[in-house]
Structure 1
Amino acid sequence: MAAIRGSGPGTRLLFSLLALPLLQVAVCLEPITMGITIAAVSAFTGYVSFPDFYCGRLVECCRVDKPFNNTALQNDLKEKLFGQHLAQEVIFRAVTGFISNENPKKPLALSLHGWTGTGKNFVSKIIVENLYDLGMQSKFVHLFVSTVHFPHNSLIPLYKDQLQSWIRGNTSSCARSVFIFDEMDKMHPGLIDAIKPFLDYYEHIDGVSYRKAIFIFLSNAGGELINRRVLEFWKEGKRREDLELKDVENVLSVGLFNNINSGFWHSSLIEKNLIDYFVPFLPLEFVHVKKCVLAEMRHRGYEEDKDLAHQVAKEMTYSPKEERLFSDKGCKTVPAKLSLHL
């Protein structure tokens, strides 16, 4: 067979076609042989990048060194999250600062608090989608729901052992593991303290480093404290956008520590200052609910209808009774309400 010369587009295409059968064979091989085969093809063609091909098309890989798109995260928070200027700012700075630090001293721990429907779960989804292409379906993202995974008070010792084992095993597999704890306000007091060693400033624990992991806690606890502070701002004639993190964070952490229904009651995570940020999610107002309706229309492929959005937002319930300022369920029931009109 004559030697193939040249390096133009046609030549690279021919190389790729010749390599295709080898790649198909590689998929059927065990990981070590497959890696050698793909690497050999890559060297031959100069066309296939082994990490990109193997990790992008064959399996999902934990790549701590993968470039992080700060702008994409910022745009997602700005365009998809309504009425949460504090959460947008804090989460963007916290996540980008942590990811860009090649040698963090401890894992990132975010505790998100506020009424239902204000965007806590939505923000968690945004964060992991910017970290992993598969988002919440990634094998490196782990969701714990208190009422599902830890339902029985009598089994707390067992849950603590299981929780430590899950975190140890998954972080051993991927240093950039993400652990999300939903319904913290329904978690049994003392249970969350089982993960305290993994959030602390240890370089290694039994040979495993947890410093690049991310822990996210979601809770309705503290919602009343946040709403009260926002209402005070409103009565003082101030804009909600003028509310700063320092106006809420301290009273929030103290309130959670002393609230037996918070999941953080007398928790060592708060006592030892291992939660990096207590992020308040403000109650949503009428204008924010309208934006949620419009966003849901776009998501379903409909053209925006501002009159319909106004009508759907009006059908939501608001409190306090006199002011009718805050949506009782945030944007949580918007999809169901909109379906009645579509």
Structure 2
Amino acid sequence: MADTDCEGVSMDAQVEKEREEEGGQRTSLLSPQLKAMIRIKKKYLKKPKAERGSNSVRLGHYTNSVNVTSDWALHPKSPQTRKSKRRNTRVLFPNDTLMFKPKKERSRAKPFLILFSVIVFVQVYNAIENLDDHVLKYDLEGLERTLHREMFGQHEALDELMDHLNDYLSTYAHQQPLALSLHGASGVGKSHLGRLIARHFRSVVDDKLVMQYFSKHHCSLQESAQHCASELTKRVVDIVTHAEDEEQIPFIILDDVDLMQPPLLDVLQTFLESDQTNEFLNVVYIFLSSLGQREITAHILLNASTAGAEKPLRNALSLIHPLWMEPAVELIPLSLLEREHIMQCFLEEMTLEGFYPDLSHVERLADELAYHRAAGRQYAKTGCKQVVGKVNLL
């Protein structure tokens, strides 16, 4: 039995030895590299992709031999790349979003700025009101209505005249006097215009502040020019002195300036200079003259308007006397009267004389006058000069 047992043990040992040898032969068929791959697969197969990807970088030289690791080994990503991307990823907030709103501080200068603006506005408003009050006392609107109603065919000249008066009479203190020199042919209404202006300002200001000077009457041919000049100087000084006391602007209207001799023109030129005392700078001079009528007539016949006639008129007047070269002198040419204006003169004169204004009769009287013909228009050569005489013959 002992021998039998010994034989059984030996048989089992031998069988076991043979099995071990067979297992050793089977296991020897796997290379050490393949065994290592199997262990790595078992260890890392269930881990996250990012982690497997990092391991695949380390095992990149085995990817061609094992198909399981091909998905995460084809595109390796190094940890440095992930770190750089993670660093560059920033959370951006909108520009208009602030963590803490700034505290609004009230400016101390703002109330002073508002107060200063109010003061300036009040001062400007008062200045405008003062200008309006100064103009209102001369009633220039009433003068304008009167001139447009009484004067025929002189709308451009009257508008320019009123513009100069409005600008000058809006203030009291000036740097130089205002001289308005109105020129036109015979019969266009120069003397009538002077009478209308003098009558208006006598009614709105003191009669002593308006002087109307007629060369034919105040300086006849028998009197010497020097005596007339001294008399004119005395009258101007008296009216200017009185206006200074009243703090108002005087009006000096001189008719028939074309008949004035050089000494009188010299006196007028001295009054228009700017280097004088203040009372002689606040004066309105109105000259009425037929000087330059040929230049005005020629310009109107070519252009059918007085626009632009100031330049040839000033050139012609400067040859007569340097008075019209003074910067204070504003030239205003009066237009020629057309046939329709002559008919208005007849209607007005016939109404004043008590005649029935028959239109056919008026047209017949208007046809008896001589006319310039240009551009389909008829301009009366003598204006309304002969209207009064023809109406008196009725």
TM-score using structure 2 length? 0.58
Shift in alpha-carbon separation, 1:297–1:200, aligned structure 2, 3 A? same
Q: Does 1:233 align with 2:306?
A: no
Larger displacement relative to structure 2 (214-223 or 71-80): 71-80
Number of the residue aligned with 1:184: 257
AA paired with 2:242?
S
Q: Does 1:109 align with 2:186?
A: no
Deviations along 1:63-86, whole A, 9 cap, x unmatched? x88712232122122222111122
Q: Does 1:156 align with 2:217?
A: no
**SS, match of residue 106 in structure 1:** coil
AA paired with 1:84?
Q
Number of the residue aligned with 1:266: 321
Q: Does 1:118 align with 2:188?
A: yes
Equivalent residue for 2:309, pick from 248, 251, 272: 248
CA–CA separation in structure 1 for the residues paired with 2:353 and 2:275: 47
- The RMSD of aligned alpha carbons is 3.0
Partners of 2:198 and 2:253 within 8 A in 1: no
CA–CA separation in structure 1 for the residues paired with 2:313 and 2:165: 21
CA–CA separation in structure 2 for the residues paired with 1:128 and 1:96: 16
Equivalent residue for 2:347, pick from 275, 287, 294: 294
Shift in alpha-carbon separation, 1:110–1:139, aligned structure 2, 3 A? same
Number of the residue aligned with 2:267: 194
Task: List gaps (5 residues or longer) in structure 2.
Answer: 1-133
AA paired with 2:252?
F
Shift of 1:189: 2.7
Percent identity reads: 26
Number of the residue aligned with 1:9: none
**SS, match of residue 144 in structure 1:** strand
Number of aligned residue pairs: 257
Partners of 1:182 and 1:218 within 8 A in 2: yes
Shift in alpha-carbon separation, 1:147–1:124, aligned structure 2, 3 A? closer
Partners of 2:296 and 2:309 within 8 A in 1: yes
Larger displacement relative to structure 2 (328-337 or 148-157): 148-157
Q: Does 1:333 align with 2:386?
A: yes
Number of the residue aligned with 2:318: 257
Shift of 1:133: 1.6
Partners of 1:249 and 1:280 within 8 A in 2: yes
Q: Does 1:171 align with 2:240?
A: yes
Shift of 1:295: 2.1
Equivalent residue for 1:285, pick from 335, 338, 345: 338
**SS, match of residue 254 in structure 2:** strand
Partners of 2:177 and 2:328 within 8 A in 1: no
Partners of 2:198 and 2:210 within 8 A in 1: yes
Deviations along 1:151-175, whole A, 9 cap, x unmatched? 4598333333222222111221235
Deviations along 1:174-228, whole A, 9 cap, x unmatched? 3533222222222223431213332222462xxx602332211111111111110
1:31-50 to structure 2, matched below 5 A, reads none
Number of the residue aligned with 1:97: 167
Number of the residue aligned with 1:84: 154
AA paired with 1:251?
P
Number of the residue aligned with 1:54: none
Shift in alpha-carbon separation, 1:316–1:173, aligned structure 2, 3 A? same
Number of the residue aligned with 1:24: none
Partners of 1:115 and 1:223 within 8 A in 2: yes
Shift of 1:113: 0.7
Shift in alpha-carbon separation, 1:98–1:302, aligned structure 2, 3 A? farther
CA–CA separation in structure 2 for the residues paired with 1:257 and 1:202: 22
Shift in alpha-carbon separation, 1:334–1:174, aligned structure 2, 3 A? same
User: 4+ runs of 1 displaced by more than 6 Å?
Assistant: none
Greater RCO structure (CA 8 Å; 6+ sep): 1
CA–CA separation in structure 2 for the residues paired with 1:339 and 1:202: 51
Shift in alpha-carbon separation, 1:73–1:134, aligned structure 2, 3 A? closer
**SS, match of residue 279 in structure 1:** strand
